[in-house]
Amino acid sequence: MKLAIAGLDHFHIHGFLQEALAIPETQLVGLYDSVPEVLKQNVERYKVKGYENFEEMLEKSGADVIATACINKEKADIICKSLERGFPVIADKPLVTTVEEFFRVKYVYENTKDAKLYMMLTERFNPPVYTAKKYIDEGKIGKVVNMISLRPHKLNIETRPSWFFNKELYGGLMNDLGVHDMDVFRWFADSDIVRVQSCFQGNKGYPELTDFSDHSEASLLLADNSTAYVRLDWLTPKAYPTHGDCRFIVIGTEGQLEAFTYDNKLIFFNNETPPVEVPTEKRPYTFTEDVYMNIKDPSRKTAISPDDIFKATWAALKAQEVADANLGGLQI
């Protein structure tokens, strides 16, 4: 599988490449980035040919698949051009930064023969989250009633690129991080998100960054009348041992689950079982292996379908829209 990378501006791409290059069949054949210094650094790091022009890389690298973790605002253009030329695309989150970009990508995907689009919604491959879904599907907590997601992160402001603090280029906190939670909420409840009840964002920790939000929260309603709440922030203290302390709490009619994503821990209890830490289970394949298998055999379903990608992205975009407009609250 010959892999080319279009945009390495987010560090997620290095985790993806580590996973991809662990698969013997992966061959990295080209790198592109709109920022010359980023391109130069990664050409030296990976010892692979760099391209200053994206279209040239598509034409000359010999790639079978394109992966991108570029500046968020550039992603829609890269995805569309790649799909139109017949390349499968693996995109980091967020997929896009605006509603207009969303419809452009969706149109190209739906109107390009045999188009293949994948997104790094990797929480579905996180063992405690994957195991929690199995417990839900087995009926161990009854019907899902409410889901809570806490997603704190370290900002590491010294190493973040400048575009990250430009709302137009970045796309917003709820759109960037919250798309993970929109996807997991839909997956856990097996129901679509139909309403953003409220969404707020603010900046308390970095007042010098006037176009940036360091915390956000949203309340959501799903089609089956279950509800969800997500809280995000860039406020995890530097001394904390991990990049964040993300967790999901799932409340059912007959039990509850709490998944600690960074600690690989799952707590379960129901009417018969007191709170207990239960063993977590890995998927039998990685995200990249899942993608490769689908590229080779399109009849094989992936863990994250294009429908999942578009629906999670749409929910995150609409929540971001509510936060940007400061809608949905009642002044008291």
For 154-185, the pLDDT digits (tens) are: 999 999 999 999 999 999 999 999 999 999 99
Model's pTM, two decimal places?
0.96
Within this chain, do residues 262 and 162 fall inside the same structural domain, yes or no? Answer: yes
- Does residue 328 carry a pLDDT above 70? no
Residue 290 falls within a domain, yes or no?
A: no
Mean pLDDT of the chain: 96
Quick one: pLDDT at residue 330?
55
Neighbours of 139 (CB within 10 A): 12
Question: How far is the C-alpha of 179 from the C-alpha of 192, rounded, in Å?
Answer: 13
Question: Which CATH number characterizes residue 177's domain?
Answer: 3.30.360.10
Token pair recorded at residue 3: 């892999």
Within this chain, do residues 132 and 80 fall inside the same structural domain, yes or no? Answer: no
Which one of 86, 120, 154 terminates a domain? 120
**Packed helices 173-189 and 306-325: angle between N→C axes, nearest 10 degrees:** 130
Residue 106 falls within a domain, yes or no?
A: yes
Residue 331 falls within a domain, yes or no?
A: no
Q: What are phi and psi of 38, to 5 degrees?
A: -65, -45
Within this chain, do residues 320 and 175 fall inside the same structural domain, yes or no? Answer: yes
Contact (CB, 8 A) for 43 and 33? no
Residue 138 falls within a domain, yes or no?
A: yes
Q: How many domains does the chain have?
A: 2
Within this chain, do residues 182 and 114 fall inside the same structural domain, yes or no? Answer: no
- Does residue 89 carry a pLDDT above 80? yes
Within this chain, do residues 139 and 75 fall inside the same structural domain, yes or no? Answer: no
Domain range for 95 is: 2-120
Within this chain, do residues 46 and 108 fall inside the same structural domain, yes or no? Answer: yes
- Does residue 110 carry a pLDDT above 80? yes
Contact (CB, 8 A) for 104 and 310? no
Residue 264 falls within a domain, yes or no?
A: yes
Quick one: pLDDT at residue 11?
85
Within this chain, do residues 89 and 156 fall inside the same structural domain, yes or no? Answer: no
Within this chain, do residues 41 and 156 fall inside the same structural domain, yes or no? Answer: no
Quick one: pLDDT at residue 66?
98
Within this chain, do residues 62 and 144 fall inside the same structural domain, yes or no? Answer: no
Residue 298 falls within a domain, yes or no?
A: no
Quick one: pLDDT at residue 261?
96
Within this chain, do residues 95 and 129 fall inside the same structural domain, yes or no? Answer: no
For 241-280, the pLDDT digits (tens) are: 999 889 999 999 999 999 999 999 999 999 999 999 999 9
Question: Which CATH number characterizes residue 112's domain?
Answer: 3.40.50.720
CB hemisphere CA count around 235 (13 angstroms):
14
At residue 148's C-alpha, the angle toward residues 142 and 152, to 5°, is: 150
The least confident of 91-95, 219-223, 328-332 is 328-332
Within this chain, do residues 96 and 148 fall inside the same structural domain, yes or no? Answer: no
Q: What is the mean pLDDT of residues 210-215?
A: 96
Contact (CB, 8 A) for 212 and 165? yes
Which one of 64, 92, 120 terminates a domain? 120
Which one of 93, 120, 147 terminates a domain? 120
Residue 330 falls within a domain, yes or no?
A: no
Residue 299 falls within a domain, yes or no?
A: no
